[in-house]
Chains A and B, each alone.
Chain A
């Protein structure tokens, strides 16, 4: 008997949840009725849980709406729009998503979300575990005056989300809940609370000074924002989110979020049982009295925070203002980059407190360093049968291994293009930054300039640079991967999928924008695609090739489920297999195509490539490109039903 999923249901008790699941639970307990986001690690799964809830509980649809937005700026303004009708809205985004959203947020923060409430959940990513960079986005909280709660455990993820909505509504202020890749994806117990239905309907009530931002209103709203922030600052000590673990050592620690856990375990490991620790649940704004009180008896305070010093600056501001005789340290002992860990914090604390580091830790580091060179690299790469990988193959062939060629990469699975052995990306900036860079580059360079963009990124911000490239007839080849999925973030049923259901066409958009040279190609026909790329690079001006081929992972899943269904109905289906005999080990398939379903092995002492049958999705590309005809196709039940990949 499968068990009922109680994470989001109206039950009591303790449930194991990920941080992101707990955020969603917090929303359900806070009566959220609108959420909008563009998918991005580590916040994508928040939307997936909302969709699961809506799918499994049709009655929730009466009041709750979740939108996958076309980009973060749209999502943020959409959330403000919903809040301004009096409802509570949630706006999750990854740290770099905040860059896109910030233009909208800077004004929404001034106006305030009343009569409703608005909370943004920002997923930080120290260590760049699922992002193209690890920027410290906490400075936005200061710049835009977003009061910010930073949870550490899943329980706090739920509690803080709920609290943020209450405060947001009460103080007419956009609140931020700051998670990280680690807190969002750590699992722990969460005590379930009562669910609260969100507002099904609302109404916008005209208030020109509040919702229109030009002088004098923009200045007045700025004044009003400071008043609200000061009230929240005063309130901070009463919220129960800032906690002190007492101790009588003259050196204390201020920390928040994930580093709190590393700090506590590091202190225990070093036997530093008397060091007082202030765990900040609210990292902006800080209450001067509360912080001063903690610092009063200290000679030194260590700030432990990942990335650039934010708390250190804010705490130093307080010690200066109040002329406190306490030394603030941190960045001289802790790195300003990459993710922290208990081992790292313990190593730095050992130096500060002049302790011998734990032998278990130092031995682990030393021994690991002694052999790590022999560990082969395993970076993420395109899946077996990925149409993007095959496109890179064709680019390599068409340009004679990128001779006199520049490839402007972008964000999506194809951000991985730069990895060896293909090494097919020369630069990456941000969502749609590749085409934009190509426009500028083409005004100066005679090189062959290729830009790549995926369909989801195309809708996010890609149409604007394409319009500009048409306008200036930039000498650029743009390759658009139309794989019909936002694949990198986990194939959400997002706005792209909704557009597909409504029959959108990138081809029509290109034509409407006036793209002068346009071809539609299929990367599973790599030789033809190679010729088209060659032709495009001969032509002057803007060229666009749309690669129309579904994401290999999803295409394979779909096809396997079709085959399973047909078999269950008693039907026989064609079964295709590829195998290798007479391999010359020329490395065409392993270095230029580099499909992960192919492995190098020895058979009877002779080196050969071999196809892993359980990993091959039967795209047939290696079979087409093998220069020695060593890859063979066999069809079992050849006369029976063939199940091809879906047409887009």
Chain B
């Protein structure tokens, strides 16, 4: 689907504490500002930011405001079923936050799992990646996965670039409209440490996304 300029764009970013969920949200919002987006309003989760907790952020924007306040973006939280895109830096977090998904949702998933402590303790079960995909397919057929953590470790010798790789991977879905790559690059240069690595990570993800999403869409 393509977006009209007055449509509200809804992106869920889910992961676990320390995976860069909030950074990714900020990156999209700052890039959207550069792209001249008129309304941006999204909620992020602070407080229990470390400590292995489940983290979600709601990224929402509207390229052009309408004259009618009833038709504009009014809430920083996405409505149930209304997400256009899920960027999941940890696979099972897509299911935990699934209530915002519907048949219009595209999912991009990092395959690297962070098992909660009760999984390690063998007191609960972590579903297989196949099972997760099967459930997500019940929402929508648009489910794409890659191992961004592995790629980050391979390319940068650390896992921190996985979130930016996932952003790059999500861009070819077309579900973060009106924001050109250049704007992300500008924001990365202005705000992030190691801008060269992060821009490289963005493109690594982008290329992977083009390859996989293009192939599937054929």
Query: A residues bordering B, Cβ < 8 Å?
Result: 1-3, 14, 16, 18, 41-42, 44-45, 129-130, 153, 181-183, 185-189, 245, 258, 260-262, 264-269, 273, 341-343, 346, 358, 360-361, 363-365, 367-368, 371-372, 374-383, 413, 416, 420-421, 489-490, 553, 585, 587, 590-591, 594, 596, 598-600, 609, 614
Known A368-B99, A377-B118, A420-B118; contact A383-B40, beta-carbon cutoff 8 A: no
A508 to B150, CA, bound (A): 50
CB <8 Å contact, B96 and A375: yes
Query: Are the CB atoms of A41 and B118 closer together than 8 Å?
Result: no
Q: Residues of B at under 8 Å CB distance from A?
A: 16-17, 25-26, 29-30, 33, 39-54, 69-71, 74-82, 92-93, 95-96, 98-102, 104, 115-127, 131, 135, 138-139, 153, 158-159, 189-191
Say yes or no: B121 contacts A594, CB within 8 Å: yes
Q: Are B46 and A185 in contact (CB under 8 A)?
A: yes
7 pairs of A and B residues whose beta carbons are closest in the complex: A130-B47, A261-B75, A364-B81, A343-B80, A186-B76, A41-B47, A380-B53
Residues in A neighbouring B51, C-beta threshold 8 A:
380-383, 413, 416
Verify A365–B80 contact, CB threshold 8 A: yes
Q: Which of A185, A376, A614 has the most CB of B within 10 A?
A: A376
Query: Within 8 Å CB of B95, what residues of A?
Result: 371-372, 374-375
The secondary-structure label for the interface of chain A is mixed
Q: List 14 A-B contacts (CB under 8 A).
A: A2-B190, A130-B46, A189-B39, A266-B79, A268-B70, A342-B75, A360-B81, A368-B80, A378-B92, A381-B53, A413-B51, A490-B46, A585-B122, A614-B153
Cβ-defined contact, B121 with A378, below 8 A: no
Contact present for B191 and A364 (CB under 8 Å): no
Q: Which chain A residues lie closer than 8 Å to B77 at the CB level?
A: 182, 261-262, 341-342
Shortest B25–chain A CB gap in Å is 8
Tell whether, in the assembled complex, residue A188 and residue B52 are in contact, meaning their CB atoms are under 8 Å apart.
no
Q: Are B30 and A16 in contact (CB under 8 A)?
A: yes
**Closest chain A residue to B44 by CB distance?**
A185
Query: Of all chain B residues, which has the CB nearest A612?
Result: B114
| Nearest CB of chain A from residue B15's CB, rounded to whole Å | 11
User: Across the interface, do A341 and B80 meet the contact criterion of CB distance under 8 Å?
Assistant: yes
Inter-chain contact B115/A599, CB cutoff 8 Å:
yes
Q: Knowing that A268-B70, A358-B81, A591-B123 are A-B contacts, what are 9 other residue pairs whose CB atoms are under 8 Å apart, sorted by A's residue number?
A: A18-B44, A41-B47, A182-B43, A186-B42, A187-B41, A261-B77, A268-B71, A379-B53, A609-B120
B residues in contact with A343, CB < 8 Å: 79-81, 99
B41 contacts A188, C-beta separation under 8 Å: yes
Partner among B29, B47, B104, B115 whose Cβ is within 8 Å of the Cβ of A16: B29
Q: Is the CB of B30 within 8 A of A367?
A: no
Assuming the contacts A185-B45, A262-B77, A378-B52, asked whether A590 and B120 have C-beta atoms less than 8 A apart, the reply is: yes
